[in-house]
Amino acid sequence: MATAVQKDAGVVGHEERTRRSRLLLSCRLSRGETHVPMIDVYAADDLFPPGSERQLGEELTFALLRAEGVLSPGPTHLNNTGAYLHRMLPQDVQTAASATARTVRIQIVTPPSVLTREAQRQLVKEATEIVAKISGDPSQAGRTWVLLTEAAEGGWGIAGTAFGREEFAALAAKSRRS
C-alpha cells in the first residue's frame, strides 16, 4: 500500500492516477459542476496553413475536454469552450534571439482545480503535438509554449454573470433538464 507521500510524489502508477482523476471528476459532475474553458493560440499568421483554423480549434478543444475527463461532451461543453486563433504579423512574434521567432503560445484558462497534475501533463503534450502536426513542421513542438491558467473562484464571466461554483452548478443542472 502506497503512503500519501508516495502518492503525492508520483510513485503510484498511471492507471491509479487516472482512476482517481476520473473518480474526482465524476464526483464533481454529480455535484453539478461543469467546466467552461477558453483556449487562445498566438502565432505568426503564416505558421498554420490557410483553412486550418477550424481543425486547430476543434483538436485543441477536444484535447482539453479529454484532459478534463469529459468523455462525451454535450452542448454545454461544446457551445461554451472557446478557441481563439490570434494570427500576428511575423515581426510581432519575437524572442530575445530573433526578431521573427517561429514560436506559438497557447494559453488555456479553466475554472479552478479542473485539471489534475496528470491531466496538465496530458494536455500540454497533446496541444504541442496538435500544433506541430497542423503546422506541418515536427520541429515546431520545440517552439510551442503552453500556459495553463486557472481563473479565480468567481472570476469567470459569461452573459454578465460572474461564475463561481454555485453558478456553474446551476448551469449544469439547467443543461441536464434540457
Q: Looking at the domain assignment, is residue 159 inside a domain?
A: yes
pLDDT, tens only, 105-143: 999 998 888 899 999 999 999 999 999 999 999 999 999
Q: What is the DSSP letter of 156?
A: E
Domains held by the chain: number: 1
Residue 175, H or E segment: helix 165-177
Q: Looking at the domain assignment, is residue 4 inside a domain?
A: no
Q: Looking at the domain assignment, is residue 147 inside a domain?
A: yes
Q: From CA 1, how far away is CA 23, in angstroms rounded?
A: 19
Q: Looking at the domain assignment, is residue 142 inside a domain?
A: yes
* CATH number, domain containing residue 66: 3.30.429.10
Q: Looking at the domain assignment, is residue 2 inside a domain?
A: no
List the domain range (segments joined by +) for residue 95: 12-177
Q: Looking at the domain assignment, is residue 121 inside a domain?
A: yes
pLDDT for 154: 84
pLDDT, tens only, 136-165: 999 999 999 999 999 888 887 877 888 887
pLDDT for 76: 76
Angle (CA) 151-153-12 rounded to 5° is: 75
Q: Looking at the domain assignment, is residue 130 inside a domain?
A: yes
pLDDT for 129: 98
Q: From CA 32, how far away is CA 39, in angstroms rounded?
A: 23
The closest of 149, 138, 144, 125 to 63, measured between CA atoms, is 125
Q: Quote the pTM value.
A: 0.74
pLDDT for 157: 80
Q: Looking at the domain assignment, is residue 136 inside a domain?
A: yes
Taking each helix axis from N to C end, the angle separating 53-67 and 117-135, rounded to the nearest 10 degrees, works out to 160
SS3 label, residue 132: helix
pLDDT, tens only, 50-98: 999 999 999 999 999 999 988 888 887 888 788 999 999 999 999 999 8
CA atoms 134, 136, 141, 144: torsion sign: negative
